Structure 1
Amino acid sequence: MRDPEPCRMNHTEEQTELTEEYKENEEMPEEEEKYHVKTGEKPLDHFQTKQKDLKQIRDKKSFTCPQCGESLTNEQSLQIHMRVHAGEKLFTCDQCGNFFLWASALKSHLRVHSKEKPHSCPICGNSFSLLNNLKAHQKIHTGVRDHMCFECEKTFITAGHLKWHERIHTGEKPYKCSHCDKRFSQTGDLKTHERIHTRERPYMCNQCGMSFKLKAQLKVHMGVHTGEKPFTCDQCGTSFAQSAKLKRHMRIHTGEKLHECDQCGKTFLWDSGLRSHLNAHLKEKPHSCSLCGKRFSHLQNLKQHQKRHMAIKEYMCFECEKTFFSFPELKQHKRIHTGEKPYKCSQCDKRFSHSETLKRHEKIHTGEKPYTCDHCGKTFRHEDQLKMHIRVHTGEKPYHCTACEKSFARSSSLHKHTKKNHSK
């Protein structure tokens, strides 16, 4: 019988050899070795190395959007991100039917219906639905703008505002209209655009029921009911409901005439003035009065003219109860009561209540005399002066005295005659 001990001994020696060989030849798994703290290495150095290597691993495993090139850390994030390009809106508001890309966006939106604004600013008292919105708002008071664009160095209060701004430089327009091929850099612009296709007008006036595409349009409209005119001219004090109307009005004071006739070079303050003037070149007057035969370039002018035949004066001054055929006539009349003179001469300090009076006055400075008599060649600044002058040649005396039937070429002459001879 064999002695079992040598066998046991051999086996033990063999095990020892194998164990030592494994210790000498064993290599740590690549990932494990990276994060193994080696002898003599400081823990801080190890932490920095670990962070750097983790970043490299994330970069290797990143998922890149084929549409805009943005990199995301996992496939799920990429799938969620792709909704931006696809326009896929999975979350629906059960109150108004609006769709949202994200559940968080729907949650925020629902506070619009509940009117819940639990977060209040301690400085100005403004309330917000979301804590993040309050924090962003508070930066307005502190002046903190810690997000900077590296292209133009412009700074922003929030990362969201910076992201929107950066699309100016990149040209990125991730939001595509579901009805046409137009693309937009911001969801708000897309939403507004899509109302062209859907004809949606979500903003309704609670006074008259009129609806609008934009909240800003409703705000402007409400001025009709409230009478609020927050935009005031610093030259003459006239107030307007809209900033655009104030801007147009300011041209009266600056004399800025942006609209030029390509036929004669004459310039106009308003586009409407140029359009009316162009008809003078075309001599086109398609609208005719059925009562007197007078013709007009615009249908609106004909309608206004016909009111004179019917003696309809629907515009009344509340100061003196005088009535007028048109609103512009009433507006001009009101300046008698207010003393308003919005038209200032560009050559001197004189001011006028009517634009036509200003035009007449300015010819004194320019020396312009555009009206010429065909009989003698004499020139005049104003058309009415030429008409009166022509009566010298024709002998016409259209002004008749009702008391003695004497006739005069001028109304002023008739007035003097009546005062001298027939007044008691």
Structure 2
Amino acid sequence: EEGEIHQLKTEETSWSPSLKNDNIRNLIEHMKIHTAEKPHICDQCGKSFPQIRNLDEHKKIHTLERPYSCDQCGTSFPFKGNLDAHKRIHTGEKPHKCDQCGKSFAQKGNLNKHMNIHTGVKLYMYDQCLKSFTQQLPFNDHMKIHTAEKPHKCDQCGKSFSQKGNLNEHLKIHTEERPFACDQCVKRFIHKGNLNEHMKIHTGEKPYACDQCGKSFARKGAFNDHMKIHTGENLHTCAQCGKSYARKGALNDHMKIHTGKNLHTCDQCGKSFRKSGVFKVHLLTHSRERLYNCDQCGKTFFRADFLKDHLKVHTKEKPYVCSLCGKSFRQMGALKTHQKRHSGVKDHACSECGKTFFTDGALKVHQSVHTTETPYKCSHCDKRFKRSEYLRIHERVHTGQKPYHCHSCGKTFTHFSSLICHKKKCRSEITSSSSSDL
């Protein structure tokens, strides 16, 4: 592009003095295309143009009659060619096709601008940052970055934007419009890109891998936060136990371990959570229909990724292996919990007695020692329990459910402990029988 401008200047200086003045004027007018200069301003509407003939053509809009009217919307035009081009909006006709990518356009001018993408010609360049553009509109938008001009203002909160498109996206915050819905859970998003990032949670795709510890992430932002752990950059450290976090929000969530505060409490079952994201997932267990069924045991799930994790129970698949002892696990979370035992890190502390635990679940089980609350009530009788697990086991008395069965004799049991006792008895009888045979 700079070469083209240089060539034009060379040609200008090489011309003989006998050239007509109008040729020099044409060259000067042409150079305004490259500089984006628009000195010719319409005194009626304020629109500006790089060349005087463009302004003259534009003025016809204000002075000429508009004899050509669209029979579908009533819009009128001074020239028949304008009407013909306008009608393509209604018919959807796009006769001008790019021979390189197949994209079609309603107007020849739009095709010409599009071709700059393939040819690499960038006519519009700003001399302060040297950034160049193939089309004028992106160039104009870019100029607002340097001028700090933000003409598009939100009438609800007063925030201003340099581009109209950014304002339109911002307005969705006030209207709560979230047109992009996840078909696997209840979450909705303002932007298509946010939905695409979210879908990686369900598909299990984690394209961002740490080359230092092997941990992978679905989102680039989470990966960047993780890398701070290795670099030590801008870490947020807990003053009580020394554990560090890449994000301030993660530290705030961690501090609830020491304070004992679980701000997110389910009003249906009483269960409480430190993280709002985990709390929202929990709420789905009460409100969401369980559409995903296991074809081997009939268990149902409200998310596809939960079913995917569950199927590993039947396939015996354990893809997550501890690098220290070789023990394998079905889920990454279970591996992380296991690895804490190797490191000896017990970062979940009881606010009542100071006792520490490897996991948040173990801490919650312990904390029931300090309280007399029994929030879980049986729906069949008046008995109450401290933990939901205890309630679930108790209700088997009423339902008659016996989920534990012996593979040797087929006998079923309500409690896992009963099955263990039964198996010991079976082994003892087998041993006695073998001894008597001898």
Compute the TM-score of the two structures, normalised by the length of structure 1.
Answer: 0.57
1-structure distance, mates of 2:291, 2:248: 29
Give the aligned partner of residue 221 of structure 2.
272
Task: Confirm or deny: 8 A CA contact 2:284 2:302 kept in the other structure.
Answer: no
Counterparts of 2:44 and 2:266 in 1: how far apart (Å)?
48
Q: Of residues 301, 316, 319 in structure 2, which corresponds to 1:368?
A: 319
SS in 1 for 2:150: coil
Question: 1:165 aligned to 102, 114, 117, which one?
Answer: 114
Using CA pairs under 8 Å that are at least 6 residues apart, name the structure with larger relative contact order, 1 or 2: 2
CA-to-aligned-CA distance 1:190-215 (integer Å, 9 cap, x gap): 11222221122221111101111221
- Paired amino acid for 2:168: K
Q: 1:82 aligns with which of 31, 42, 45?
A: 31
- The corresponding residue for 1:263 is 212
Q: Establish whether residue 254 from structure 1 lines up as the match of residue 254 from structure 2.
A: no
How many residues are matched?
330
The structural deviation recorded for 1:185 is 1.5
What are the residue-to-residue correspondences of 1:111-122 with 2, within 5 Å? Answer: 122=71
Paired position in structure 1 for 2:137: 188
Q: How does 1:175-254 map to 2 (within 5 A)?
A: 175-236=124-185, 238-254=187-203
Q: Residues 319 and 88 from structure 1, CA distance in 2 versus in 1: closer, same or farther, beyond 3 angstroms?
A: farther
Note the C-alpha offset of 1:258.
Answer: 1.9
Larger Rg: 1
Change (3 A) 1:89 1:283: closer
Q: Which moved more, 1:309-318 or 1:359-368?
A: 309-318
**Which amino acid letter does the alignment assign opposite residue 367 of structure 1?**
K
| Distance in 1 separating the partners of 2:107 and 2:340 | 72
1:89 partner SS: coil
1:337-416 counterparts in 2 under 5 A? 337-339=286-288, 351=301, 353=303, 361=310, 363-364=312-313, 365=315, 366-368=317-319, 370-371=321-322, 381=330, 382-383=334-335
Cα displacement (A) at 1:159: 1.6
Post-superposition Cα deviations, 1:121-148, rounded to whole Å, max 9, x if no partner, equal 544x496898766542421433443435
C-alpha contact 1:68 1:172 (8 A) present in aligned 2: no
Inter-partner Cα distance in structure 2 for 1:252 and 1:198 = 41
Give the C-alpha shift of residue 225 in structure 1: 0.6
Contact 1:128 1:134 in 2 (8 A): yes
Q: Deviations over 1:243-298 (max 9, x none)?
A: 11122223234333221222354432112333454456668894222345443333
Partner of 1:301: 250
RMSD of Structure 2 on Structure 1 (CA):
5.5
Is the CA contact (8 Å cut-off) linking 2:318 and 2:329 kept in structure 1? no
State the Cα distance separating 1:161 from its structure 2 match.
1.0
Alignment partner of 2:8: what SS? coil
Report which stretch shifted further, 312-321 or 295-304. 312-321
Normalising by structure 2, report the TM-score. 0.56
Helix, strand or coil at the partner of 1:66: helix
SS in 2 for 1:263: coil
1:339 is displaced (CA, Å) by: 1.0
Contact 1:90 1:101 (C-alpha < 8 Å) held by counterparts: yes
Preserved contact between residue 316 and residue 323 of structure 1 (Cα < 8 Å)? yes
Q: Cα deviations across residues 351-381 of structure 1 (Å, max 9, x unaligned)?
A: 45597x678546544323635997xx86655
Letter in 2 for 1:271: K
Compared with structure 1, are the counterparts of its residues 85 and 318 closer, same or farther at alpha carbon in structure 2 (3 Å cutoff)?
A: farther
- Aligned position for 2:280: 331
Structure 2: stretches of 5+ with no match in the other structure = 1-6, 12-21, 343-356, 372-385, 395-438
Q: Is the 8 A contact 2:328 2:335 kept in 1?
A: no
Select between 126-135 and 159-168 the one with higher mean Cα deviation.
126-135
Distance (Å, rounded) in 1 between the aligned partners of 2:192 and 2:278: 24
Post-superposition shift, 1:337?
A: 4.2
CA distance in 1, matches of 2:173, 2:71: 35
Measured in 2, the distance between the counterparts of 1:127 and 1:314 equals: 59
Judging changes above 3 Å, is the alpha-carbon distance between structure 1 residues 201 and 240 closer, same or farther for their aligned structure 2 residues? same
Distance 1:255 1:296, change over 3 A: closer
Structure 1 match to 2:8: 66
Residue 220 of structure 1 aligns with an amino acid whose one-letter code is E
**Is contact 1:253-1:343 (8 Å) kept?**
no
Distance 1:217 1:328 in 2: 28
Measure the CA separation in 2 of the matches of 1:133 and 1:68.
Answer: 39
Q: Which moved more, 1:236-245 or 1:280-289?
A: 280-289
- Are 2:232 and 1:290 equivalent residues in the alignment? no
